[in-house]
Amino acid sequence: MSASDSNGNGKALISLRSIKKVFYTDDVETHALSDVHFEIQKGEYVAISGPSGCGKTTLLSILGLLDSPSDGEYTLAGESVARLAPTDRARVRNRQIGFIFQAFNLIGDLSVFDNVELPLTYRDMPPTERKDRVAAALDRVGMSHRAKHFPAQLSGGQQQRVAVARAVAGDPAILLADEPTGNLDSKNGEAVMELLRELNANGSTVCMVTHDSRYAQHADREVALFDGRVLEPA
Enumerate residues 6+ apart whose C-beta is below 8 A from 27. none
CA-to-CA distance for 152 and 110, rounded, in angstroms? 10
- pLDDT tens profile 194-217: 889 988 998 899 999 998 888 898
For position 116, which CATH number holds?
3.40.50.300
Q: How confident is the model at residue 22 (pLDDT cuts 50, 70, 90)?
A: very high
- pLDDT tens profile 47-80: 999 888 899 989 999 999 999 999 999 999 888 9
The total number of structural domains in the chain stands at 1
Query: Can you tell me the mean pLDDT for 20-35?
Result: 90
Question: What residue numbers bound the domain in which 192 lies?
Answer: 3-230
Share of the chain above pLDDT 90, in %: 63
Q: Which long-range contacts (CB under 8 A, 24 or more apart) does 218-223 make?
A: 218/45, 218/47, 218/193, 219/45, 219/46, 219/47, 220/2, 220/3, 220/44, 220/45, 220/46, 221/44, 221/45, 221/46, 221/47, 222/46, 222/47, 222/48, 222/49, 223/38, 223/46, 223/47, 223/48, 223/49
Q: Is 41 in contact with 3 (CB distance < 8 Å)?
A: yes
Nearest to 171 by CA among 215, 220, 116, 216: 116
Q: Which amino acid is at 3?
A: A
